Amino acid sequence: MSEALDEEQVAMLRRAFQMFDSSKLGKIEKEKVRTIMNTLGHTFDDMELDALLEEEDKEGGK
C-alpha cells in the first residue's frame, strides 16, 4: 500500500470528501474515493482500497 498520509493530506481528503458527499449523507461511493486518491497521486488496487476504507470507516459503512 502507499505510504501513510500526513495531517495536511488527511485534511485535504476530508475537504474533498465533503465536496463529493453531495447528498450530505456522510458517505461516498468507493469509485469517488479512488478518484480523489488518484488526483492526489495515490494509486490503490481494489484490495488496498477496500482495506483503506475499512480501516478509516469509523462507523462501519453506516
Q: Is residue 1 part of a domain?
A: no
> What pLDDT is attached to residue 11?
87
pTM tops 0.85, yes or no: no
Residue 52: give its domain's CATH number: 1.10.238.10
62 in any annotated domain: no
Is 61 within the bounds of a domain?
no
Residue-wise pLDDT tens digits, 9-54: 888 878 888 888 888 888 888 898 888 888 888 888 999 989 888 8
DSSP-based three-state secondary structure for 6: coil
Determine, yes or no, domain membership for 49.
Answer: yes
Query: Domain tally for the chain?
Result: 1
Sequential DSSP letters for 17-39? HHHH-TT-SS---HHHHHHHHHH
Q: Answer yes or no: is 21 within a domain.
A: yes
Contact 36, 17 (CB under 8 A): yes
For residue 41, the 8-state DSSP code is: T
Cell numbers 462507523: residue: 59
54/35 Cα distance (integer angstroms): 17
Q: Identify whether 29 is part of a domain.
A: yes
- Domain extent for 24: 7-56
